[in-house]
Amino acid sequence: MTNAGLIAWAFLGVLGLVFQASLFFKDELAAHQPDLRPALAQLCLWANCKVGPLKQADAVVIDHAAIDQLSSSLDPLDTAASLHWAFEVHLRNSAKVPVATPWIELTLTDAQDQAVMRKVLDLSQWGAPPVMAAGDILPMSLQLSLVNPEVNFVGYRLLTFYP
């Protein structure tokens, strides 16, 4: 094999690596270099993929969270009225680029900080946008109800994540 053949194979190998890296980091490239999005979308047409919003787990922080009971009944036998809760959370995108809106895991805890109930919340079901702009603050207010009236909780933990 001649030098020209080796150079051609090396060039094809480098092109293959660039193609593979572009596909692997397509979301990061599109978020940090928005002018590359059309080229990446065209590349994904060939590779049968999709350029989506950046999913950066540590970019979205919880600025505020609160759980308050909405109503309570004077009748101790009327458990339905006492099981409605208002859940409020403010998420902030601390990144300098747009990121996907995360999901939230809400864990209710007892006095020993043991989990008594977990709930995973897809915020898009409550009208949250799919993408949070850089520096954006997303206030969400939701009404929750407990299925099991015997669950007594004194605290909660929140976790943001991407499915």
24, two tokens: 């692997």
Q: Distance between CA atoms of 117 and 107, rounded to whole angstroms?
A: 6
Split at pLDDT 50, 70, 90, the class of 138 is very high
Statement to judge: residues 142 and 69 lie in one domain: yes
Range of the domain at 38: 3-47
pLDDT of 17 over the 80 cut: yes
| Side-by-side strand order, sheet with 155-161 | 115-121, 103-109, 155-161
pLDDT of 159 over the 90 cut: yes
Determine the pLDDT at residue 73: 54
Its pTM surpasses 0.85: no
Work out the angle between the directed axes of helices 37-47 and 3-24 (0-180°, nearest 10): 100
Residue 140 belongs to domain with CATH number: 2.60.40
Return the percentage of the chain with pLDDT > 70, whole number.
91
Statement to judge: residues 24 and 83 lie in one domain: no
Q: 67-125 pLDDT, tens per residue?
A: 888 765 545 555 444 567 899 999 999 999 999 999 999 998 988 888 888 899 999 99
Question: Number of C-alpha atoms within 13 angstroms, CB side, residue 160?
Answer: 21
Q: Distance between CA atoms of 159 and 106, rounded to whole angstroms?
A: 7
Statement to judge: residues 100 and 145 lie in one domain: yes
Determine the pLDDT at residue 71: 64
> Do 107 and 118 touch, CB atoms closer than 8 A?
yes
pLDDT of 22 over the 90 cut: no
> Do 137 and 63 touch, CB atoms closer than 8 A?
yes
